[in-house]
Amino acid sequence: TVLLKTLITLGYLNFDRRERLYFPTVKVTSLGDWVPRALFGSGRVIEAMRDVHAATGETVSINTKNDIYLQYVQIVQSVHALRFHVEEGAMRLLTQSAVGWLLMSTMPDDKIDNVIRRANIATPKAADRVKVGDMMEKVRKIRAQGYCSVENIPFLGGATICVLLPVTIQGQPVVLGMGGALERIRQNHDRYLAVLQRAAKTVVPSDPFDQP
């Protein structure tokens, strides 16, 4: 009761005394306004994501590492009729997507080995588990080319292209990713990659401690 009364005083709840009902006010929507600023600082991370979406219409996301998972921190959904929907905040094992592979490429080899083994334990289907040697080969290729592009992972009939951003979120690397229907991504691969790389170059760390 004390908590509810405090929230009324602060303007976050509306109280109907006759019905004895509490209901959130519009002010509740402002509670999370500080989160993007805390995560992305004053850089152009969100703007870069929107620039890529405006140029491609594909699903574009900002992603980071959360233990042995990648987490979709922010997403702008595709405008195309054929698309793959991913929820903001969703998590996927690092070994199961292009974004995860790119995130792993920023780690030392011994840590990657540990992540792969732990991810395999957390992977229910044996067929989806990866071999350490195969994964390390993919990571070395990604390091050499500076981006990751994969077809039919994590969705059959889909494709992903992603690049690293020159910032971190709570000390973790950040990836700008784009995904969509395989044929559409394949036909536009070089243009889409150039759009992602251009957008990444516009992102400037807002603070020296944000640099990877």
Q: Which residue has 């957008």 as its token pair?
A: 199
DSSP state, residue 188: T
- Token representation of residue 150: 């994969």
pLDDT of residue 36: 67
DSSP 130-182: --HHHHHHHHHHHHHHTSEEEESSSSTTEEEEEEEEEEEETTEEEEEEEEEEH
- The whole-angstrom separation of Cα 143 and Cα 201 is 18
Mind listing the pLDDT tens digit for each residue in 97-109?
Answer: 999 999 999 999 9
The three-state secondary structure class of 203 is coil
Mind listing the pLDDT tens digit for each residue in 83-128?
Answer: 888 888 899 999 999 999 999 999 999 999 999 999 999 999 999 9
Q: For the chain, what is the mean pLDDT? A: 90
- H helix or E strand, kind and range, residue 104: helix 98-104
The three-state secondary structure class of 32 is coil
DSSP state, residue 88: T
Q: Is the pTM of this model over 0.95?
A: no
